[in-house]
Amino acid sequence: MSIFNPPLPGKNHSHVTWGRTYGCSKGLALAKAVEQFSGLTLIITPDIQTAHNLESELAFFCNQGIEIYLFPDSETLAYDVFSPHEDIISDRILALSALPKTKQGALIISAGTILSKLAAKDFILGQSINIAINDQLNLEIFKQTLVKAGYQYVSQVMTHGEFAVRGSIIDLFPMGSNQPYRIDLFDNEIETIRTFNPETQVSIDKVESFQVLPAREFPTDEKAIKRFRQNYRIQFEGDPNNSVIYRGVSNNNLPSGIEYYLPLFCEETSNFFDYLPDNSQLVLIEDIVDIATDFENDVFHRYEQRKYDIERPPLHPKQLWISSDYFEKSIFKLNTIKLQQYELEQLHRDQYNFDAQALPTLTINSRIKDPASELIRFIESSGNKILFLAESPGRREYVLDVLKGFQVTPTVVDSWHEFLVKDNSLAIALGPLDNGLILQQEKIAIITESNLFGARAKQKRRRRRQIRDAESLIKNLSDLSEGSPVVHEDHGVGRFKGLKTLSLSGIDTEFLTLEYADGDILYVPVSSLHLVSRYSG
């Protein structure tokens, strides 16, 4: 069965199963399924790493205009004393706000994450604010509104959920946004809105409007605080002032880990299925129900360990998570595609095997006499049209340089779709995919960096500072000498030309100076040093 024409479920809660989904064939097949379905495709993965990988694959294979959301895991354990990172909360709130109005697209979530209960759908949608040029805005009232929505008043905005005021200028980093905004008031009227760089504080582009979503996934205004205090005294026996949670909330200082008391802030809770639009289909990766059951057992185990904690008494798991039984009933109400990596041996009705095949070993081994012998043999004998993938422009330059040493010269293409229509037998594109594959029927092979250089630590897909291999990270500026070749993650190979101090918005900031072809200069803030690594070609 061709991946380019995947069999889809019909109507009335029907189900299909796809087998032999090797390598990145899951993403390729699901991209077609998402494009052919006029609604939301909910994809449930066994873990968050699979979700991140699938997000990258769908972004690479899908046509432009298809909305793809990842609902991230909180990256905390049940009843943890830590709160999720602001970037994680931002992505979660953005996904929740987009779900009910998504006309065509996909949302990816892990099995453990989808069991969590949420604030009522009306809270996320009802608390959003639209800000536009020429709107009337009372500064003091707006500041109070932001604080009630969970935003923090700071001196300089750096991350999601923060705002700052300097005279008639308001800096604000809304949840769900890729960048912060600078509002310039003339009296009580919004005169201009610009985006700005939080690291340099330099204004960038003018915009007409933007949306402000709440800073937390649950209400934190005065009514919600009062509701929390009442519910807490009903829920737990003894003196509530013995609890660091109760004391913190009462003083309007929400402590870390407060997310595990969400139901106490809400009049009622919802679950993820309540947020889904009516026209939705479901995708299950592997045996999701068993994974949900294991997660539920782990949660109850952690509850038993913590239920006598006086300072942080835990809520019962039934108040914070839906049961695995309820989860199983909910997923079978939707038209479903189930994916299995292994080959389905005895095909029944609505079961299909794709023509995908795993790649042979193609690793470039510098320890042997002919490091790329397996790769060269595959290129010459397979008869496939081959696409190499690199994670970033800088990595692409490195891969091209390595392949050139073995007389392999792929043509650079901008996308998967450009590769399909061009006649080049060898091509290279940007695509942060983990595993390649062979499409036997189409005579196409995809080879990733992991296939060429072996498995390595993958970068997080969120907007966080990324961690690199210790040998390639420049830990100290003294590691660089003027004229040394370096690789910028987004701009490729250039030469380090020293440090330079520039004054931006009245603030002196130190920059690395990188020189590129034709004398082009790139200034990289020292705070973004993590984007630069040694060139090792």
Query: At 463, is the pLDDT very low, low, confident or very high (cuts 50, 70, 90)?
Result: very low
Q: What is the mean pLDDT of residues 486-507?
A: 81
Hey, how many other C-beta atoms are within 10 angstroms of the C-beta on 4?
16
Q: What is the pLDDT of residue 366?
A: 82
pLDDT band at 146 (very low <50, low <70, confident <90, very high): very high
Q: What is the mean pLDDT of the chain?
A: 89
Residues 412 and 477: their CA atoms lie apart, in Å, by 33
pLDDT at 241 over 50: yes
Number of residues in the chain? 537
Q: Answer yes or no: is pLDDT of 322 > 50.
A: yes
How far apart CA 7 and CA 32 sit, in angstroms, is 10
Burial class (CB in 10 A: 0-12, 13-18, 19+), 55: buried
Predicted confidence (pLDDT) per residue in 95-144, tens digit: 998 888 888 899 999 999 999 999 998 888 788 889 999 999 999 999 99
Q: Which residue has the higher pLDDT, 476 or 444?
A: 444
Tell me which of 40-44, 107-111, 347-351 is least confident: 347-351
Overall average pLDDT of the 446-461 stretch: 73
Alpha carbon distances (Å) from 116 to 43, 151, 323, 527: 16, 23, 9, 36
pLDDT tens figures, 55-74 = 999 999 998 889 999 999 99
Please report which helix (H) or strand (E) contains residue 487, including its range.
strand 485-488
Let me know: does 514 contact 495? Beta carbons within 8 Å: yes
Given a cut of 70, whether residue 474 has pLDDT beyond it is no
